[in-house]
Amino acid sequence: MTRIGVIGAGAASAAAVFQLATSGVDAEVTVLEKSGGLCGRAATRRHEALTYDYGANYVKSADDRVVDLLTERLDDEGLVDASEPIYTFDAEGDVSPGRDADDHKWSYEAGLTQIAKRLFGRTDATVHRRTRVETIGHDAEAETWSLVDTDGDRHGPFDVLLANPPAPQTAELLETAEWDSPARERLVDAASDVSYRTIWTAVLHYEFPLDVPYYGLVDTTKEHAVGWISREECKAGHVPDGESLLIVQANHEWSVEHYDDDPDENVDRLADHAADIVGDDRLRDPDWTDNQGWRYALPEDELPTAAREAAEEEGLWVLGDWVGGEARLHTALRNGLETGDRLADRL
Ligand SMILES: Cc1cc2nc3c(=O)[nH]c(=O)nc-3n(C[C@H](O)[C@H](O)[C@H](O)COP(=O)(O)OP(=O)(O)OC[C@H]3O[C@@H](n4cnc5c(N)ncnc54)[C@H](O)[C@@H]3O)c2cc1C
């Protein structure tokens, strides 16, 4: 039996663990996740009758293998499609109809976090939530890995280690890892070179419906303080009838500048922007709000294959959107499936 340790319960590691389980590999899998929820940046929260995806908005049906995973291999009950179109706006906040895309924009009635829940749910993996890995250890003689969390608890030994955190967090863990190898230095350098866009998100609730023809609005000029606005009520099961829930994502520059500002002030500023763009003054005064800063929201570079392969030779496998080469949920899932395939072949 192969003992596998996994850092992070994001979409990529959930897909990899699922793929390993369904390929019949004899493995004992232990996942350590720092947060209280599953699926990382494809995150869902609940508040009273509201369910909302406050990180990734949806998974696009842009990859055949991921479509097959979500609609055939996994239970597709509760899969919902935000079928209204996405319109665009410009630096002045002027809205225009966008081009209709053919792709589905999927979430679940219970939110995107369902993806990781359903994937892990089909495996025997043990998932420890609220467990942040602080140190990676390597025993060169035994060729095994161990993990120490922030409570000082030790996990392992593992024959194989999977690392799913965004590139800067993976680089930080590897920087201090007790693993003396040129592959470690190469991977630290390559992961440190992956830059990220930051997103600050406001969630705005209103007790009235919005009469607009679109699901989402995107700033194609990248010059407005707001990059994206979408309506969670377009996803079945997320918002009670007659109410509205807006997800407002600030652009990178605004998000970096205001990251440490008072969150209430940030929410007020973004509500004002939303009112101006949508053209409805009532949006300045939401009756309930939430917010989240995503420092490492969207990777802009791809990890060079050689750096990944050198680490794999020694039993450490990195995976995620930054390894798959695109800041997209379907890319993270695809990368997880492919990592699971390669690891199953190796075992
Ligand atoms: C605001 C925002 C909007 C987005 N919108 C979209 C969209 O509409 N469509 C789309 O396709 N994509 C979107 N994305 C991108 C999408 O969310 C990601 O590409 C995808 O979720 C990445 O999955 P992953 O498995 O690679 O990594 P992650 O989801 O980042 O998973 C990594 C996991 O590792 C955990 N972790 C990190 N460090 C440690 C540690 N030390 N110990 C234990 N656990 C740790 C994290 O908590 C996390 O659960 C968006 C992202 C953000 C932030």
Contacts of 336 (CB under 8 A, 6+ apart): 11, 12, 13, 14, 15, 16, 18, 19, 319
Looking at ligand 1, which residue's alpha carbon is closest to its atom 15? 328
User: What is the assigned CATH class of domain 57-111+196-299?
Assistant: alpha beta
What does the block give as tokens for 133? 């890995």
Amino acid code (one letter) for 271? A
Q: Tell me, using a 6 A CB cutoff, whether residue 54 lines ligand 1.
A: no
What's the pLDDT score for residue 100? Answer: 64
pLDDT tens readout for residues 92-125: 999 999 866 778 999 999 999 999 999 999 999 9
Compute the mean pLDDT over every residue in the chain, rounded to the nearest whole number.
97
Contacts of 306 (CB under 8 A, 6+ apart): 186
**What is the C-alpha to C-alpha distance for residues 316 and 340, in angstroms, rounded to an integer?**
13
- Is the model's pLDDT at 173 over the cut of 80? yes
Domain ranges of the chain: 2-43+115-194+302-346, 57-111+196-299
Q: Helix, strand or coil for residue 223?
A: coil
pLDDT tens readout for residues 128-168: 999 999 999 999 999 999 999 999 999 999 999 999 999 99
Q: How far is the CA of 165 from the centre of ligand 1 (A)?
A: 8
pLDDT tens readout for residues 18-37: 999 999 899 999 999 999 99
**What is the C-alpha to C-alpha distance for residues 86 and 213, in angstroms, rounded to an integer?**
9
* Answer CATH for 2-43+115-194+302-346 from 3.50.50.60, 1.20.1730.10, 1.10.600.10, 1.10.287.3510: 3.50.50.60
H or E segment at 126?
A: strand 126-128
**Token pair 């995806």 is at which residue?**
53
The residue whose CB lies within 8 Å of the most ligand 1 atoms, and thus the one to mutate among 38, 70, 329, is 329
